[in-house]
Amino acid sequence: MLQDLPVRPEREFQAALEESRALQSADIIAIVLTGLFAIAVIGTLAIAKTLIMPVTAALIVGTTLSAGARALEKYRIPRTLSVVLVLIASGGTVPLVLMLVSSPLLAWTSRLPELGPQLREKLHIFNRPLALWSELQPALGIDFSLPKIEWVQPTLDFLSPTLTEFLLFLVTLVLFTLSWPNLRRSLVLTFEQRESRLQALRILNEIEDRLGNYLLTVSVINLGVGILTGVVSTAAGLPNPAALGALAAILNYVPIIGPALILIILTIVGILTASTLGGGMIAPALFLGLVFLEGHFVTPLIVGRGLSLNALAVFFAFAFWTWLWGPMGAFLASPMLIVAIILREHLVSTETGSHRRDRTAVNRNHR
């Protein structure tokens, strides 16, 4: 009997060691499977972008507009009429911008034959440095050439989506916005327990409210960008500052490409209208500083504060979805981040609490 005493702790140690190794192997397998699943999801989102992206955009925009339709329903306006009014109000800014931009655009288009020589004349000071650099390259043994940036075709592909994508977005948006109350009721009633139904209703209501607040916040920020762009254009002496400001406000909804287009337009218009090259660069320089502050500090800070996140998390969401879906992905990044955060707050915390309760019960039974 005395010989069996040291054997039991050794056996228990070996059993604990084997159990630890089994848990480590299970954790490794779980990590590998999670990585493979993430790769499969990302690959599917990238390959089926033409189908998933318009539908996702329509669902997010429709959920956002449903908040406005629900507000109009409080005044005893029928659901169909509320949806029509919200769609007209949200899309009514496009004709307004076209009215402001069409006249200056036609005027500048009629002057295209003379704009090219004027632009070359204003930029003639760069001819001598460029020629000198071209002569020095063979002598120094340097073969330096600017990289070719293929941005024209992707820009045109984004600004002119296919008819199928546009129709898919439009039809999904209208049908989803009209049937959203019935869909929400059906989603809630799929759960049998009362607590699960209440939790689903809280999640849907919070998604609708937060997306509505996000759209309102971004619209206010873009309106401020448009007003400041008009002020900068007026101060720099550019023609049609109202049209430039309206165009900046609308294009600022399209990250990366929108501000880049406005910067190019301000640069060309500034160089052509100013008497000196330095005077023509005042407006684009001020606009570049404005967009930098808005894109890197104002919007991430405000949106991040509304989501109880820091600006870095919002920036990573913008970077990931821009890499995956381009500018439209950047536009949908924050709304999808809002939905993910709400689901995590309501579901992950609940599951974690239930796992903790189950673990506590198992430990009590083991004791």
Q: List, for residues 99-153, the tens digit of each pLDDT value.
A: 777 767 666 666 656 656 666 666 555 556 656 666 666 666 655 554 444 545 5
In the block, residue with structure tokens 């390959």: 47
Higher pLDDT, 12 or 259: 259
Question: What pLDDT score does 227 carry?
Answer: 92
Kindly state the percentage of the chain with pLDDT values over 70: 65
Question: What pLDDT score does 137 carry?
Answer: 63
Mean pLDDT value of segment 65-86: 80
pLDDT tens-digit map of 334-350: 788 888 888 888 887 55
Lowest-pLDDT choice from 22-31, 74-83, 221-230: 22-31
Mean pLDDT value of segment 84-97: 74
- CA dist 102 and 108 (Å) reads 10
Mean predicted lDDT score pLDDT of the chain:
75
Question: What pLDDT score does 1 carry?
Answer: 45
Mean pLDDT value of segment 249-277: 81
Question: What pLDDT score does 331 carry?
Answer: 79
Phi, psi (deg, nearest 5) at residue 30: -65, -40
Residue 359 corresponds to which amino acid? R
In the block, residue with structure tokens 């049908």: 175
Higher pLDDT, 198 or 152: 198
pLDDT tens-digit map of 134-144: 666 666 665 55
In the block, residue with structure tokens 């318009």: 54
Q: Is 326 left (phi over 0), alpha (psi -120 to 50) or beta?
A: left
Cα angle at 38 between 34 and 44, to 5 degrees?
Answer: 145
59, pLDDT greater than 70: yes
Question: What pLDDT score does 358 carry?
Answer: 47
Are 24 and 136 in contact by the 8 Å Cβ rule? The answer is: no
Lowest-pLDDT choice from 288-302, 321-335, 349-363: 349-363
CB neighbourhood size of 109 (10 A): 9
- CA dist 141 and 137 (Å) reads 6
Question: What pLDDT score does 280 carry?
Answer: 80
Both structure tokens of 20: 């630890």
Lowest-pLDDT choice from 160-169, 178-187, 198-207, 318-327: 160-169
- CA dist 112 and 105 (Å) reads 11
Question: What pLDDT score does 231 carry?
Answer: 92
Nearest to 280 by CA among 140, 82, 123, 132: 123
Question: What pLDDT score does 273 carry?
Answer: 81
In the block, residue with structure tokens 């779980």: 30
Are 185 and 200 in contact by the 8 Å Cβ rule? The answer is: no
Question: What pLDDT score does 298 carry?
Answer: 80
- CA dist 230 and 336 (Å) reads 32
236, pLDDT greater than 60: yes
pLDDT tens-digit map of 300-323: 777 666 555 556 777 788 888 888
Q: In which band, very low, low, confident or very high, does the pLDDT at 181 lie, cut at 50, 70 and 90? A: confident
Question: What pLDDT score does 366 carry?
Answer: 40
Residue 217 buriedness (CB in 10 A; 0-12 / 13-18 / 19+):
middle
Residue 208 corresponds to which amino acid? E
Question: What pLDDT score does 113 carry?
Answer: 62
Angstrom distances, CA of residue 165 to CA of 37, 89, 323: 27, 23, 20
Angstrom distances, CA of residue 274 to CA of 153, 234, 240, 283: 31, 13, 14, 10
Lowest-pLDDT choice from 22-26, 167-171, 182-186: 22-26
- CA dist 139 and 338 (Å) reads 57
Mean pLDDT value of segment 204-221: 84
Question: What pLDDT score does 219 carry?
Answer: 84
Lowest-pLDDT choice from 26-35, 104-113, 149-158, 179-188: 149-158
Mean pLDDT value of segment 27-54: 84
